[in-house]
């Protein structure tokens, strides 16, 4: 059976825990080619990104190369997409060319699930519209696990444009699987309807001193038709800054999936603050994606 990686909801807790442990192995051995370089030798992946990316696209490429695989970077702007080729025909073409797996990002929430039954090779969701970003979810879990040695019972505040965030989408799915509590903070118009008991809305300044981690989110301007945002006013009300960091527990951590807008959702001095794990998340992204590539090829985690 083809092993896809489309949503964290398709995995039981035990499988996700195995993936986290495997990602931790890769984190510890990422610079030991003699231990890992043979694992996906002679495999070829395709990075197919219909939306911009720095972290996800580059870390999948580095992950593949660290495991001995090769990767083709398909760029829609320089492809036959410009001649009218559909997404389906593009993916079927890459399949026919002989790639072993496709890493796929698109603005549509559900196209990845709709296309998957028609493909004979594994598909990785590298960010689907406002739906899920499961490889980001895995690296966020790895970062929390490294920090706290457990996931169950952790309290995480998520602040910002949650309604349009696939990062928050995957985190909320993972929270349900692992028994974490999520607090959604930000402008009411940017928060989704809440239906699950493990997710609740909260006032940012009230909840901040009680949480183990806070995930700051960018306002997804590309997914808004008209949003009148005053960056200074937004920062004052919902931004992570020195005043708010002082109210956090000493062992609580600051997360952000990136890219971040300094001075809007996070102040300049918080990005590399000692409680920030933002660049650690990026480093963990390579290890998490090594575990995902190995899983889709070998079924191992």
18 vs 53, beta carbon nearer ligand CP = 53
Is 276 near ligand CP (CB under 6 A)? no
Is 257 near ligand CP (CB under 6 A)? yes
**Residues β-bridged to residue 266:** 240, 262
Is 137 near ligand CP (CB under 6 A)? no
Least distance CB 272 / ligand CP (angstroms): 17
Phi, psi of 201 (to 5 degrees): -85, 150
Is 143 near ligand CP (CB under 6 A)? no
43 is catalytic: no
- Point out which span in 52-60, 112-120, 188-196, 207-215 binds ligand CP (CB under 6 A): 52-60
Catalytic residue among 4, 43, 56, 244: 56
218 is catalytic: no
258 vs 263, beta carbon nearer ligand CP = 258
55 is catalytic: yes
Question: DSSP string spanning 54-77?
Answer: SHHHHHHHHHHHHTT-EEEEE-GG
Report the C-alpha gap between 53 and 169 in whole angstroms.
18
4 vs 57, beta carbon nearer ligand CP = 57
Contacts of 52 (CB under 8 A, 6+ apart): none
Report the C-alpha gap between 169 and 165 in whole angstroms.
6
133 is catalytic: yes
**Residues β-bridged to residue 70:** 44
**According to CB under 6 A, which one of 28, 259, 262, 269 is a site residue for ligand CP?**
259
Report the C-alpha gap between 295 and 298 in whole angstroms.
5
Least distance CB 274 / ligand CP (angstroms): 22
207 vs 276, beta carbon nearer ligand CP = 276
Report the C-alpha gap between 4 and 285 in whole angstroms.
18
Is 277 near ligand CP (CB under 6 A)? no
Is 136 near ligand CP (CB under 6 A)? yes
39 vs 219, beta carbon nearer ligand CP = 219
Torsion angle of C-alpha atoms 37, 38, 42, 48, degrees rounded to 10: -40
Catalytic residue among 55, 106, 235, 277: 55
Report the C-alpha gap between 284 and 253 in whole angstroms.
15
Report the C-alpha gap between 234 and 265 in whole angstroms.
7
Is 54 near ligand CP (CB under 6 A)? yes
- Point out which span in 17-25, 37-45, 202-210, 255-263 binds ligand CP (CB under 6 A): 255-263
Q: Are 201 and 183 a contacting pair, CB within 8 Å?
A: yes
Give the three-state DSSP class for 213. Answer: strand
61 vs 95, beta carbon nearer ligand CP = 61
Q: Are 296 and 101 a contacting pair, CB within 8 Å?
A: yes
- Point out which span in 13-21, 47-55, 88-96, 107-115 binds ligand CP (CB under 6 A): 47-55
Catalytic residue among 4, 66, 105, 235: 105
105 is catalytic: yes
Q: Are 95 and 120 a contacting pair, CB within 8 Å?
A: yes
Report the C-alpha gap between 132 and 2 in whole angstroms.
20
Is 101 near ligand CP (CB under 6 A)? no
Is 90 near ligand CP (CB under 6 A)? no
The residue ranges that bind ligand CP (CB under 6 A) are 53-56, 127, 133, 136, 257-259
> Active-site residue numbers?
55-56, 83, 105, 133
């Amino acid at each position: 059976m083809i092993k896809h990686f489309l949503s964290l909801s398709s995995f039981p807790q035990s499988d996700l825990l195995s993936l986290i442990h495997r990602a931790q192995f890769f984190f510890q051995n990422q610079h030991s080619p003699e231990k890992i370089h043979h694992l996906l030798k002679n495999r070829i992946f395709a990075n197919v990104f219909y939306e911009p990316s720095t972290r996800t696209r580059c870390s999948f490429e580095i992950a593949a190369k660290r495991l001995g695989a090769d990767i083709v970077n398909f760029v829609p702007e320089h492809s036959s997409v410009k001649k009218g080729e559909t997404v389906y025909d593009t993916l079927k073409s890459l399949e026919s060319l002989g790639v072993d797996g496709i890493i796929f990002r698109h603005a549509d929430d559900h196209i990845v699930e709709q296309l998957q039954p028609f493909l004979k090779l594994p598909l990785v969701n590298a960010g689907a519209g406002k739906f899920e970003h499961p490889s980001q979810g895995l690296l966020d879990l790895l970062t929390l696990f490294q920090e706290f040695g457990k996931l169950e019972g952790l309290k995480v505040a998520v602040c910002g444009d949650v309604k349009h965030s696939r990062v928050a989408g995957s985190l909320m799915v993972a929270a349900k699987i692992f028994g974490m509590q999520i607090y959604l903070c930000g402008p009411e118009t940017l928060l989704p309807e809440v239906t699950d008991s493990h997710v609740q809305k909260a006032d940012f300044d009230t909840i901040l001193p009680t949480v183990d981690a806070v995930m700051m989110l960018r306002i997804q301007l590309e997914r808004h038709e008209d949003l009148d945002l005053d960056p200074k006013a937004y920062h004052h009300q919902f931004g992570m800054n020195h005043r708010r960091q002082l109210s956090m527990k000493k062992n609580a951590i600051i997360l952000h999936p990136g890219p971040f807008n300094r001075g809007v959702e996070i102040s300049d001095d918080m990005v590399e603050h000692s409680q920030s794990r933002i660049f650690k998340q990026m480093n963990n992204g390579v290890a998490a994606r090594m575990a995902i590539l190995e899983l889709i090829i070998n079924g191992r985690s």
